Structures are given as structure tokens and as C-alpha cells.
Structure 1
Amino acid sequence: MSLDISSSSGSTHPDPVPATAVPGLPEREPTQVDAREGESFAEVALRLGGASADEASRTGVIDSADDQVEDLFAEQYKTVNSPVHRAVWENTVDTDTFVAGAVPHDDDVQAVVNRSLAVVQQARDADRLFDDRGKVSDSVFKQLANAGYWGLLVDKEFGGSGASMRQFAKMITRMSMIDPTVAGLASVHGCIGAVDPVRSFGNEDQKRRFLPGLADGSRLSAFALTEPGAGSDLTALKTTATLDGDHYVVNGEKLFITNATFGRTIGLVCKIDGVPSVLVAELPEQETEQFRINRYQIFALRRAENNGLVFKNFRVPAANRLMPTRGDGLTIAYHGLNLGRVSLCANAAGAMRWMLAEMLPWAAYRSTYGQAIDRRELVRRRIGHLAGLIVAADALTDWCAWLLDEGYRGEMECIVAKIFGSEAQKEAAIELFMKTHGGRSFLQGHLFGDNVHDFLAPCIYEGEGEMLAMAFFKSLVKDHGKRFFEPIGRTLHDLGVRRPNFTNPKHVWALRGPMAKYTAWYSAKCVRSAYWEDDDVLRDCDESMLKHIRFAQRYLSDCGVRISDAMRRYQLKLADRQCRMTALSAQVQDAVTILVTALYASRHSDPLTRQAADAVCRRLRRRITGGLPTDSEFRQVTKLGEQIASTGWSELDGTTAGRILQSY
């Protein structure tokens, strides 16, 4: 996906100022990059930077959908007023927006959570969680339905529990400690499946018709977006729906649709009159001439249904079309993704707990050269480091879920959680868990061997990590680019040049207005010192956490100038500097993770949790600064690993390890 650094794509701009309006400049003939009616400057800018007309146009479509989602939120909760955006572009980094408030207790929600956890724990203990095909069994699905599991995010008036996102995310972490697949299916159903689209965009009739069945589990759901030729490029969708009387006739194919099989409810993304749209479709109970399932063998999600869907003149009632007040089907698709990204991080926090719970008894059992390996420095470092990853994932999950509950869009923040959670789980699985267990990791029945693909696959769920890093960067720079770089770019466009020549008086004169505004912003940003108001939040903060908080605040505040320098250096070519964009994005994300984790741990009573937070924050700081670990840092993380190995850790309560395979 290409990046627009200058404009809110899809908006209609006035015609460019004629060149003759600039004193001393000759009038010129229109060129192939002149803005056409209805075309945004972003598309013109991309072509000026060397992108094709098709790529520029497709980028405009995606940015239009992004803007339409933005319009759904109140002004104070939009991206420009989000914690990360303000921290980078303003001179204040207030800690109160980076730490979640107290979680309100709800006895009804907690009862549903407890019943659901008991269902899955009992099924796992009795070895009946999966059926003969290795899928989550129908009996478990039904018991979870009776427990109220599938209706957690459905409002009470439609038969659900009306849980907050924070309550739901905490449940996901606890369920993942028992079984990550069952936890993930709750997210598929409630966050990116049919529940969120109907709840957020359905009319009253659609809510009454669909939500009760989605709440009681009689209709499990999925979201059918991906196609064989359309993944991150959603403009490549081929599935169409044509109105025929009071029905739409659907033709096309979907691929990699989790939780989709016969008899389920899907949010189907298709094109209606060329516009991306969403139909709520009830899949038949068996194959028909109009519908069939494309089954394939897939390593990840093998315990859940993951299938392709093929439609040939498949009829869906016209009354099932979701009609957002603003935007189109892509608006609906993007809305639920943030919920799914938070759930993914929550799932990773639980799965990593299970890994650590499996590591501890093995490390105590396995002996080399007459000594248990949990006495070895490298293994203790792995234990301590894994604990740090868990705390950071917990912190990001809680913070992002709180932002969503508060009404923020949370686009950038949820991307941070998704990328960190998926990458942390991958590192934990390969570098910490597998290497500690050695060859036994690959035995059938081992947590790693049985789940390795599920541990790795989240790196591409809800957006591949590096693609999302560029999306994060685009969200971060869009407003800045629109205010300062778009006027400069438009002036250059009118001059017929790509880069200004400040020895040319005509260029200097033409750019005097936009350059004056940019210079004023830049000077103020460089001269004014960053400040923060956080006495209440940090009143009882210990020194180890405070140093990380101050580092992150200073770094985030400095990032505005750093990023603006890159925008000025690369100008219209920044869209092609994907490596530079992802690097800048990663540094901001790491600083955000440090700040959120340190604030979270500073309010935590468990000293081991604070030590784990200290360990992961130190590591992230080194990643930003390029420093090397000191002996002191090695001692800190290995001491933490030693303590967890010898006394346990409260964060692992409720997690049970399996038996040691091939014991001796």
C-alpha cells in the first residue's frame, strides 16, 4: 500500500491556483498530473512521486474509507486528538491519557466469564475439547452458548451481556490461558464477525433480527472480506451483488474465512454498483448449486473452521444490507478491526502465560551436567524476558480497550497493541519456549509442536505487521502533511517542478506563504520545552518506572521534529521509502509501549510484575537508542527469572502445565 503524506485522500479540493496568479511565473500547459475534478491531491502527489495512476487511485479509495471511519467519532476522540498523535505533535505528553482507569465490576458479566472458563477447562481436562476432526467440538460450542459466551459484546436488550471492551479483553486473556483457539473464536464472532457490524451499523430491524441469535450462539458468525486476489489491497475485491427485486444476487469467492461453515452468519463484503458494501448473509445448512465451501488444509487455525466460500447466484435479502450513515462497506470493515487487534494482544498475553507455565516445570526437571537448567543464566534470562513480554502485552491490552470504551477511535494505539502482541508471541514461541524445550518441542502433544503455526500466524492477522506499521505512520503524519506539506506540494505542482530551488526567486516568492507557516511551527516545536501534568498519576511511582516514563515522554515529544525532517527530506518520494517509514513507526511504537507499560506497572502491587516491566522497558529503550545490554541489565533480568522459577508468579495463577513428554 502506498502512503499519502500530504492529504486526506478522497476529499474534493478546489482547482489549483493558476500559475499566472504567481508574479513572474509564465502560464504553462496542463500536464498529465494535473488534478482532475473529484480527485484528491494525494493521488496527484503519488503520481508526481512516480506512482502509477492506478495505484494512486486505489490509495485514494482506501484513504476515503479511513476518513469516513474517522467521521464516525466525536471530535475529541478522533485520531488528531488521540494520545499518541498529541504526544508526537504537541509539546505535552500527559500521562493521564496513557493509563487506564479502574475497571467497573459487573456481576452478570463476571458470571458469564466464569461459566465459560469452566466449560473449556473441564472439556480440556476430560480430553473432549476437540472432536474427531480435531476441531472445537459442537458440544463445547453449545455449552459455551448456554454459558452466554457468544453474547458478551451484544447489548443486554438483545439478549447479550453488554460487556465493555476491557471486560471482554480480560476474558480473552484468561480463556487463552486454557485454549487460545476458543479465545480467538470469541474475537472472530464478536469483534470482526457479524456482531460488531450489526451492533454498530445495523438499523433497528436488523438488530432485532440478527443480534439475539448471535448472542445466544444459535448463529455463530464470521466476516467474509479476504478474496483470492484481495488481501491488504481491498480495492481488488471481485465479489459482486446485483439487486434483483427484493434480493441481492451474489457472485464471487472468499478465502481464509475463520469460523465460516454451513449454517453460520457472515458479514459479506462485496461490491454493489461498484461500491464496497456489506450484506449479512445466512449460509445454508448444506451445499447447494448457489453456495459451496472450498475446503483446504491449513496449518494455522486447524482447530477452527477456516474455509473458502464460493457464491454463484446466491440470493441475500435486500433488507440485510448494512447502510452506515457515512461511508460504505470498507467503513464497516475498518471499524471492527480495532477491536480485533486489541483481542489479538489479549490472546497473546494468555498464550505466553501458558508457554511460561510449561517452561518452569521442564526447566526444573531437565538436568545437564548434574544441574537443572533453571539454574543456568540463559534459561533464567528467557524466563525473565518472557515475563516482561507478558506484562507489556497486558498493559497495551488494558490501555487500548479502555480507550475504545472511552469513545476514542484508537486506530494508532490498537495497531501498537496488535504489532507488539503478535511479534512478542512469535519471539516467545521460537526464541524462548522452543529453545528451552529443545527437541521435545516438535513432539506431537507438545504445546509448541501442536500450536507453532497458531503462535506465528497472528503476525498477519488483522493486517500484516509491517503493512500496519506504515498505516500507523500514515495516520500519524496525515494531519501534519495536510496542514504544512500539502500547500507546499500544490505550489510545486503549479510551478511544474518536484523540488524547490531556493536560489530561484520565483520559487521563493511562490512558497513564501506555506513556508512561513511551516517555519513558525517548526521553530515553536524546537524551541519550546516538552512539559507534562502528571502529579496525581505518578505520585507513588517508584524510581525504576519513573525513569522509563520520562524517557518515553521526551522521546515521543522529540519525534514530531524527527518525522517532519523525514517528510521534508523525502517529500513526495516518502511513499516509496517503506523501510524508512517502518523504522520511524517502530521507534514511536516502542516509545509508546515503554510509556504504557511503565505506567501500568507503577500501579501494580506485585514486585515481580514491576521487575518484569523494568526488564522489557530496558530492552525497548536499547532498541530505540541502539545501545548494548550492560552487565547490570543481565543481572536484573536473570534475577527476575530466578525468582519466578523458584517461587512462581501470581500472573500465572489459573494456568496448568501439561505432562513432561519423553521423561526419563
Structure 2
Amino acid sequence: MTTEIRDSGTDHPADGQGAEAASFAETALKLGGKSDDEARRTGAIDKADDQVEALFSAQYQTVNSPAHRAVWDRKTPIDAFDIPASPVDPALHAKMEEALAVVRRHKQAGTLHNHEGRIDQAVLDDLGPTGYWGLLVDPKYGGLGAPFAHFAPFLARMATLDGTIAGLASIHGCIGAVDPVQAFGTAEQKQRFLPGLADGSRLSAFALTEPGAGSDLTALKTTAVLDGDDYVVTGEKLFISNITPGRTIGLVCLVDDRPAVLIVELPEEENEQFQLRKYDIYALSHLYNRGIIFNGLRVPKGNLLTPPKGDGLTIAYHGLNLGRVSLCANASGTMRLMMAGMIPWAHYRVTYSEPIARRELVRKRLGELAGLIVGCDALVAWCAGLLDRGYRGEMECIVAKVFGSEALKHAAVELMMKTHGGRSFLAGHAFGDNVHDYLAPCIYEGEGEMLSMALFKSLVKHHGKTYFEPVGKALAAAGIKRANPLNPLHAIKLAPVAMPYLKWLVGRRLMWSAAPELPSMPGALRGHAEYAAGGLQGMALKIDSAMQKFQLSLADRQCRMASLSQDCQDLITILATALYASRQHDEVIRGAADVLCQRLRQRIDGAKPSNQYFREVTTLGAAIADGAFPGLEEIPTDEILMRYDR
């Protein structure tokens, strides 16, 4: 995958706003009575989002993304949800197989981890010649240049062997130094940094979080002050994954009081200017997660990345979508590993003279687990295809991240743990040893509900700027705190700015949405796709109703925003999954997609599972218990612990 962003050919951020204009969020918060400081800080994040938008051509920005259009257009853009996979280049496939073979060999030999339980350096070194660390690097700098649509599903395969090693490829290639340099670096910076990043001699990480700056990126305190030919870096970073001396990091810091990104090649040993803050942390248990303390570390000024628009926050946001899709892919592979361990245990474990593989509850768990896996596969394939086509993919990648992380959590606790019972907590059991790693994705790459609200903001932004912001400004000018349409004075003052909105509202309520143009699909999956397309069309009025009801106080209605966002996410997942499964020829995959879509529809409608659903999910689970789920034969399973005489 080759990505370079220097200039989109426009001189303004998305939505036509000037570089110094107040963002939508800042304007809305000020009109809603928030403090200047809160409005400014939130506005800075929103403006960084605008600046990222400006890096993409108009047709690939959020307002023209499939998720946005599915809600606000009068016809669901099915072609943008139905993206067939392209064949993998044989040479690339061979290198991927080499990487898998390396990890498989170390796993069989028991040499994956060092004496601290972390991935051993020998494993990382052995992966270098396979091209693993350069999968996303342009070939002219020594990488393999893999399309993201091939990279992400490959991570799912790697995760069936080891989720940490799959995660390291994402940290390095998506949110580490590779994407910032490749997307925003100069020709000289690329030539200097990318070859070492590609061959793995300089593995990388991204240093953003600080002790007092997590989701509030305006609270950054680490500074880089220019002194001659160097920046002098002072400050502290925390919870940085994949950090040891000698790593290369993308460091988000303040340069001249503005967020910036420096590429920093950490010293090979700690010294007075650079120390690691070490602490006990449960996740991720097999890699190094540490703090970094800078006390006057000198970094060449030529290491500063300069985006064509925006600042360091623009760079920070750019790579996150790649990481979110990779997280979903990792979840898919990890859940396959869970399934591969549940099946032999279900056949081995006997209660009341019967293996639990014959019990309805266990079969239901296997069927639902298959649905979660297929849902992750569908979202990974769809989102990766969009990114390769040039879309920003902000909302779509959030859907993948939230679904993947929540699916992994549910699979671990509700499906895997309950099936294995007390043995789940034995040392050496996959659940007991890795439970924190299964839960961590709910926080990493953005906490799920916070991201859900971010998706909602992206969904309402254009509608709000077009129709609600003019009304809000008119209210403020007239000294009216809340509009009352029954008050004649309000009606007179608001009429000029309210008419475009009323025209939209009447048109939306009176005009039927066009039926989606679906490809040939199996009956059940077609029904799910039609349900999702219709539901997404209906979300426009539901969202608009919430905007009417809460007006400028909507920003404080986090629970309502998260709820509406979740409905949108579930509908998007149904549509993407139904279309993906329709392109597959395996009936078990199609059945798993049907089960997932039914479950999501139950959640949206607030309905209980039907007897038909239970029959279908348990029938699917029985087939999976007999080995029908494709690909499980490639996955090595752990030994059953504390066997007993049956």
C-alpha cells in the first residue's frame, strides 16, 4: 500500500471553511453557552478533523462516504458497500506465507517469548527477511507495497498464530512511524527513514498519550524547542506500546505552541536525556508498554513532519483508521483461535454422560461466535477496500473498531470462558493468560463509546452546519435561548434561516426513498440487506428529531448520541455483512452471517430471540462442532489442561 499526502489541490478545509474559521463544534458549543475554554479545546480537535478531511478529494470525504450517504441520501449506495476482493499477488502471498512459517516455527519450538514473557527479539529479527515489517511500505524504499485490502485479512491469519505479533504489524505500519513518514514525509525523510522501517531494523511506535492527555489532545505538554539545528524535547509520554531503546517513534509534541510530529530515533540505551518509565500493566501482556521521559533529548530539526494543511493532530488522526481496521482483523483471527480451542474441549468435556458439544447452549455459543467472526471479516474487507479506493473512511473504520473490540470481549467472556468453565482460570489457559489482551481493544484506538459519539458527530456535522447552525446564530443575535415555533415573534425572526430546513424536512417526510439496487443474494441475506438499507434511510429523521429536541444542548446528551450511533453502526454492519456473505460460496459462512444479522436486528428492534433463531443458531453450532467452519484445520490448538479419566 503506497500512501502519500502532500496537497489535495484545494486551499481550504472540508465544508468550505477557511483555515481560521471556527469549527462547527466550537460554534455549537459557544452558542450553547459553554465556556470559551471548552469550546476552544473541542474546536481544536474538530478543526484537526476538518484539516484531515481537506487532505482528501471531495468525493472521498466523509460527506460522500458510504455510511454518510446511506443515511442522508435518498438512495443507499449499495455499490460502495459491495466491494469484491481482488486476488493477492503470488509474490506477496509467498512472503506472507514465509512470515506465518516463522511464527509457526517459533510457536512449535516454544521460543516466541523471552524470559519476561514478551515477544523475543529473535522472532522480530526472523520476520525481517520475510518483508513482514515492510508490508505497507512502498517497494522503492524496500517494502512490499501491499494493498491494505490484502494486509488487513493477512493480520487475521497471523492472529490465529499470535495476536501480539499481528498487533505489532499494526502498531509499526499503521499507527507507528511508517504511515506518518509515508503520508507526510518529504522525499529526503522517506529515503532516510523508510528503508530501516521496512526491513525491521528500526521497529516503530507512536507516542501520543501523556499522563494528563488521553482523548483530550489539547492538553499536550511535551515540548520541542528549536535550538540551532536540533529540537530539544522535554516531557513525558505514557502507555506507549512497542517501546524499547532503539525504536523509532512518531512523537506528538508542541512546537511553537502548536501540535507537531517529530520522527525520533530513540537512543540505543537510556541516558540523562531519555529514560523509560516502567510499570506493571496487564495488557498487552506480550509486548513492552512503557512511558518515555524526555529531559532535553536533541532531535534533528529535519525530522519534523510538515503536513500540507493542519498540524501534528492532522498527522495523528490520519493513521488511526488503518489501526482501527487492523484491530478488527486481529479480533477475527483471535476469535478463530478461541473457536479452535472450544471445539475439542466441547467434545472432551462430558456432563451427565453426554459431551457438551451436544448441548444446545454450547452449540448456540459456537454459532454466535461464527457470526461475530464473519461480521469482523466483512467489515475488514469492506473498510480496507474503501481505504484502498481513496476514501477517508472515518465512520466506516470506527464501525469496524467498535464492532471488533466488542465482539472480542463478548466472545472471550460470554462464549469462551463459560464453555471452558473453571479451567479458564488455570495458568497456561488461553483465557486466563490473555483475558486483559481480549479486553484492551475496547480502549485502544479510541474507547468504544467515545468513538461512537465521534461517529455521530461526523454523521450530523454537515446537516447541522447546513440547517441548524444558521438558526442557532439567528437565535443568539435575537437574544433567544430556545426557539418556540408557536411564538409569532420567534417565527418571524427565524423564518429566513428556517425555510431551507423546513423544505428539507417536508421533503424527507413526504418522499419515499428509492429501493436499494441489490445484487443477486440468498433470500435471508437479501432480507437483511433490505432491512438495513431501509433502517439507515429512516435514521435521518430520527437523528434530525434528536437535533430538534435537544438543539444546542445535544452535545451534552452523550447517552442519546451513543444510542443513535449504535443503531447506525448495527445497521451498517448488517448491510456490509449480508453483502459480504453473499459473495462467499460456503454455506456455513452464509449461515453465520444470517445468525449475526438476526441478532443485530433483535438488538435494534428490542426483540427477544425467536424459536426459529434458536433452531438456526444451534444447527449452525452443531455443524461447526463437527468441523464445518472453514480454515480451522490450519490453526494449532492448545492442549486440554488437567485432563481426567472419562
Q: What TM-score results when the alignment is normalised by the length of structure 2? A: 0.96
Structure 2 partner of 1:615: 595
Preserved CA contact (<8 Å) 1:87 1:557: yes
Alignment map for 1:412-423 (pairs within 5 Å):
412-423=395-406
Hey, what's the Cα distance between the residues in 1 that align with 2:634 and 2:83? 24
Structure 2 partner of 1:21: none
Preserved CA contact (<8 Å) 1:247 1:318: yes
Secondary structure (helix, strand or coil) at the match of 2:293 reads strand
Return the letter of the residue paired with 1:465: G
Residue by residue, what CA displacement relative to the aligned partner does 1:439-468 show, whole Å, maximum 9, x if unpaired? Answer: 100111111011100000000011000000
Deviation at 1:95, TM superposition (A): 1.5
Alignment map for 1:286-325 (pairs within 5 Å):
286-325=269-308
Structure 1 partner of 2:222: 239
The answer to whether structure 1 residue 204 and structure 2 residue 184 are counterparts is no
Hey, what's the Cα distance between the residues in 2 that align with 1:41 and 1:134? 47
Secondary structure (helix, strand or coil) at the match of 2:546 reads helix
Preserved CA contact (<8 Å) 1:119 1:143: yes
Return the letter of the residue paired with 1:348: A
Where in structure 2 are there 5+ consecutive unaligned residues? 1-12
The correspondence for 1:580, drawn from 560, 570, 580, is 560
The answer to whether structure 1 residue 331 and structure 2 residue 331 are counterparts is no
The correspondence for 2:612, drawn from 632, 640, 654, is 632
Deviation at 1:524, TM superposition (A): 1.4
The answer to whether structure 1 residue 506 and structure 2 residue 495 are counterparts is no
Deviation at 1:10, TM superposition (A): 12
The correspondence for 2:173, drawn from 172, 175, 190, is 190
Where in structure 1 are there 5+ consecutive unaligned residues? 1-6, 14-36
The answer to whether structure 1 residue 445 and structure 2 residue 425 are counterparts is no
Residue by residue, what CA displacement relative to the aligned partner does 1:527-582 show, whole Å, maximum 9, x if unpaired? Answer: 221224535xx22x110101000000100011001100100110011000000000
Secondary structure (helix, strand or coil) at the match of 2:161 reads coil
Hey, what's the Cα distance between the residues in 2 that align with 1:196 and 1:399? 20
Deviation at 1:228, TM superposition (A): 0.4
Hey, what's the Cα distance between the residues in 2 that align with 1:634 and 1:533? 29
Alignment map for 1:220-235 (pairs within 5 Å):
220-235=203-218
Structure 2 partner of 1:530: 513
Preserved CA contact (<8 Å) 2:136 2:147: yes
Residue by residue, what CA displacement relative to the aligned partner does 1:370-406 show, whole Å, maximum 9, x if unpaired? Answer: 0000111000000000000000000000000000000
Deviation at 1:41, TM superposition (A): 6.2
Among all aligned residue pairs of Structure 1 and Structure 2, give the percentage whose two residues are the same amino acid: 58
Return the letter of the residue paired with 1:594: I
Preserved CA contact (<8 Å) 1:342 1:401: yes
Hey, what's the Cα distance between the residues in 2 that align with 1:178 and 1:127? 13
The answer to which of 652-661 and 266-275 deviates more is 652-661
Deviation at 1:510, TM superposition (A): 1.7
Deviation at 1:606, TM superposition (A): 0.5
Deviation at 1:39, TM superposition (A): 4.3
Preserved CA contact (<8 Å) 1:173 1:347: yes
Hey, what's the Cα distance between the residues in 1 that align with 2:85 and 2:575? 18
Structure 2 partner of 1:595: 575
Preserved CA contact (<8 Å) 1:9 1:41: no
Hey, what's the Cα distance between the residues in 1 that align with 2:56 and 2:23? 23
Secondary structure (helix, strand or coil) at the match of 1:647 reads coil
Preserved CA contact (<8 Å) 1:248 1:317: yes
Hey, what's the Cα distance between the residues in 1 that align with 2:459 and 2:613? 33
Residue by residue, what CA displacement relative to the aligned partner does 1:7-49 show, whole Å, maximum 9, x if unpaired? Answer: 9899569xxxxxxxxxxxxxxxxxxxxxxx9645643431342
Deviation at 1:301, TM superposition (A): 1.1
Hey, what's the Cα distance between the residues in 2 that align with 1:40 and 1:641? 50
Hey, what's the Cα distance between the residues in 1 that align with 2:265 and 2:16? 33
Hey, what's the Cα distance between the residues in 2 that align with 1:99 and 1:195? 29
Structure 1 partner of 2:334: 351
Secondary structure (helix, strand or coil) at the match of 1:136 reads coil
Return the letter of the residue paired with 2:570: D
Return the letter of the residue paired with 1:481: G
Alignment map for 1:129-208 (pairs within 5 Å):
129-208=112-191
Secondary structure (helix, strand or coil) at the match of 1:250 reads strand
Secondary structure (helix, strand or coil) at the match of 1:511 reads helix
Structure 1 partner of 2:471: 488
Hey, what's the Cα distance between the residues in 2 that align with 1:69 and 1:39? 16
Secondary structure (helix, strand or coil) at the match of 1:419 reads helix
Secondary structure (helix, strand or coil) at the match of 1:133 reads coil
Structure 2 partner of 1:27: none
Alignment map for 1:552-567 (pairs within 5 Å):
552-567=532-547
Hey, what's the Cα distance between the residues in 1 that align with 2:389 and 2:154? 19
Deviation at 1:281, TM superposition (A): 0.3
Aligned length: 632
Hey, what's the Cα distance between the residues in 2 that align with 1:40 and 1:462? 24
Preserved CA contact (<8 Å) 2:382 2:576: yes
Return the letter of the residue paired with 1:148: G
Structure 1 partner of 2:94: 111
Return the letter of the residue paired with 2:609: P
Change (3 A) 1:647 1:135: closer
Hey, what's the Cα distance between the residues in 1 that align with 2:28 and 2:465? 12
Return the letter of the residue paired with 2:258: V
Change (3 A) 1:39 1:633: closer
Change (3 A) 1:94 1:651: farther
Hey, what's the Cα distance between the residues in 1 that align with 2:578 and 2:631? 17
Deviation at 1:513, TM superposition (A): 1.9
User: What is the Cα-based RMSD across aligned positions, in Å?
Assistant: 1.5
Alignment map for 1:357-396 (pairs within 5 Å):
357-396=340-379
Q: Structure 1 stretches (4+) deviating beyond 4 angstroms?
A: 7-13, 37-41
Hey, what's the Cα distance between the residues in 2 that align with 1:56 and 1:88? 28
| Structure with more contact order per residue of length (Cα contacts < 8 Å, sep ≥ 6) | 1
Secondary structure (helix, strand or coil) at the match of 2:252 reads strand
